[in-house]
Copies of this chain bind each other. A is one copy, B any other.
């Protein structure tokens, strides 16, 4: 079982994930990034701080990356001070970023050329799940490599799924987020209609959860964000827009119709373009509230 774990990308999600690795007894190596404070905080909690990703890899058997987009993952892996410059053959790299399946496959091939293994392992569960250690991991790539790092992932998550070959973890993550976006857009429409007709939104949420219209978007996003009317992220709208466009690009490449996906993308993009991209993605509810002249939430 691997004992020395590296972590690159200790942001909203990565910071609590790295803390959980420390709590589980792993040795954790991190390096300074744009924001120094989580690195210092992890150092206080027992992590070793080294100079750069290259040094992180040199100090680790397994390295987790958790970054906002494909160019940053590419730089972390293949930059001059990147992980692959320091990794010994046999190192397993676990990328928990949400990037395109095509990017995953391309990176995995380059990592394999250096006799290392890249797993795509995006997560679901949000900041709350990252703190509680209850994330779901959707893993693509070599099954044996996954079994080797399973105890590491179990320190951070509750459910570890092997989906299939390289890139398939990314596929399922994009599918999931596309549904989350569509279901939220639908919920905003339905709950605005209900509210305008005089129905109490909290009661309606309770009723639909026991009916065919229920969804995690209602039980989670709508109930926890829209009803109280608090839109601090959470999951920023601009990141949801990015994920949706990765999903729509994949639909386009695969020849899959995406009527609802592209509609949800247009609604999300519109609200982002109107200046709300840094708020939680549930802020799209305000477009509906403004158009209909009614509040779903935030009344108290």
Contacts and interface: CB of A to CB of B under 8 A. Distances in A.
Q: How many copies, total?
A: 4
A197 B166 CA distance: 11
Given A163-B207, A216-B211, A256 B176 contact: no
A176 B211 CA distance: 7
Interface in A130-169: 136, 138, 159, 161, 163-165, 167-168
A106 to B, nearest CB: 15
A203 B161 contact: yes
| Interface-central residue, A180, A207, A256, by most chain B CB under 10 Å | A256
A45 interface: no
Nearest to A241: B252
A104 to B, nearest CB: 11
A273 interface: yes
B263 A197 contact: no
A185 B178 CA distance: 11
A213 interface: yes
Interface of A: 101, 124-126, 136, 138, 159, 161, 163-165, 167-168, 171-172, 174-180, 182-183, 185-187, 189-194, 196-200, 203-204, 206-208, 210-218, 220-221, 245, 247, 250-252, 254-267, 269-270, 273-274, 287-288, 290-293
